[in-house]
Structure 1
């Protein structure tokens, strides 16, 4: 009997940042794979820093060649951290990725994620534009997940977002406990569909929680550089967006920015429903 084939696509979350092991990185997808069946062929093609365009053009072809039975697509946070953010293009790319997976008959796994501004603890004027972008991405992911019958995990909010024991020092990636929680929650959803025959992943970590001093050292060295590389091209635009936030707040018209963003998401999804082909390059 052939093994169950599980392929994971996405960015640093799925690559396993925050869950180091002797062999390198593990992550929620590898933890989930071990509980899917007695015989599983697992391949992780996720790459740290990946955006939706990277998943569409680079990861998807490699993933489909592996003929997966289950395929995960969790991406979009890095798109929100770029000055090129375009919800129409993001929706078009994700639609192409999800449709390609569905055509091949693979069971699709997706998730909504917390906004990076809140996780980093940015000031309100800086955090709100990022939150608005992430809400837009989450709305697109949720709508397309329903369209393609995906197993969708709502991970954008809840106690796990504020529980510091579940997160690594950078505040953007889960630690081992967080990765185990994601794996366990996906396993429960798959088991409810009869798609997970193995035991659920343990939620108890194998390694001790990093000490506060170790976390601070990571932030002062590797962590600061990681965040800087992700946000270099965004910072000038983010400052402009923050200034716009302050102006609207002073005028009492902050809700207008939310309405504009909401209309953008609705238009992006409507374009897909109408069969239009936005630029997904």
Structure 2
């Protein structure tokens, strides 16, 4: 098997936030690379990136590197903006995935947990964010299948509720979590004959953060992090929360879920139509 050239794209998860090494971050992609036999590993992920950043900034650089393996994990930051538009997110991801496929690269993708639930936000605030993240995950699922991606499910309860896997900020994996992501990706790649080396170790070198450290982060840096990420969302999120409560009182919350489902279906249908220029 020839060595692989691995390029990672995305946001803070792939940048490695939560897995400190020296003065910087390491993360799951750097842990995975040696296990794939990669002779070149390039991490283009940047904290705070949205799908537009991956498409317009990271993808051109990635294609110049002529990768054999490309990871694209992004979308949470899109859900934290007042400009959130699932159709635009779907179109951008489709373009990124398609570009990787055209260049013959194997694609790695993942669905992600809901940030509102991770932060423990009140239900009226958390549910709109959860609905958005489910929409992004539905798009990622559909497009991953379309392009034959190696897809990892990271939104399930067991992974989300194990606090030993998360850093003090409760939003990024800690070292143990990054190692688990790397090991799970390795297993999927090995099943396709794309992982030449041994799986990454799941044993962390640093202890998991204590509960007091997590609470301290939330009370200090965490507040600032949420404020920076959600500056333009907060007014809209409050409006969404009021709407959420109103529907809950009326017993019509299902309408909000149905509307989100229809939006995802419309976004994917638009991509299908775009592939058929002669369609009426």
With normalisation by structure 2, the TM-score equals 0.95
Alpha-carbon distance, 1:229 to partner:
0.4
Residue in 2 that maps onto 1:19: 19
CA distance in 2, matches of 1:224, 1:177: 24
Alpha-carbon distance, 1:219 to partner:
3.2
CA distance in 1, matches of 2:209, 2:157: 23
Is the Cα contact below 8 Å between 2:36 and 2:196 reproduced in 1? yes
CA distance in 2, matches of 1:131, 1:221: 24
Residue in 2 that maps onto 1:4: 4
Residue in 1 that maps onto 2:233: 234
With normalisation by structure 1, the TM-score equals 0.95
SS of match in other structure, 2:171: coil
Is the Cα contact below 8 Å between 2:168 and 2:210 reproduced in 1? no
Alpha-carbon distance, 1:62 to partner:
0.5
**Larger deviation, residues 180-189 vs 210-219:** 210-219
| 1:151 equivalent in alignment to 2:153 | no
**1:158-197 alignment, distance < 5 Å:** 158-197=157-196
CA distance in 1, matches of 2:209, 2:172: 14
Residue in 2 that maps onto 1:52: 51
Residue segments in structure 1 that go unaligned for 5+ positions in a row: none
Runs of 4+ in 1 over 6 A off after TM superposition: none
Residue in 1 that maps onto 2:136: 137
CA distance in 1, matches of 2:264, 2:275: 15
SS of match in other structure, 1:34: helix
Residue in 2 that maps onto 1:274: 273
SS of match in other structure, 1:171: coil
Alpha-carbon distance, 1:221 to partner:
3.5
CA distance in 2, matches of 1:276, 1:150: 19
Is the Cα contact below 8 Å between 2:6 and 2:68 reproduced in 1? yes
SS of match in other structure, 1:8: strand
Residue segments in structure 2 that go unaligned for 5+ positions in a row: none
**Larger deviation, residues 214-223 vs 164-173:** 214-223
CA distance in 2, matches of 1:260, 1:220: 35
**1:60-99 alignment, distance < 5 Å:** 60-99=59-98
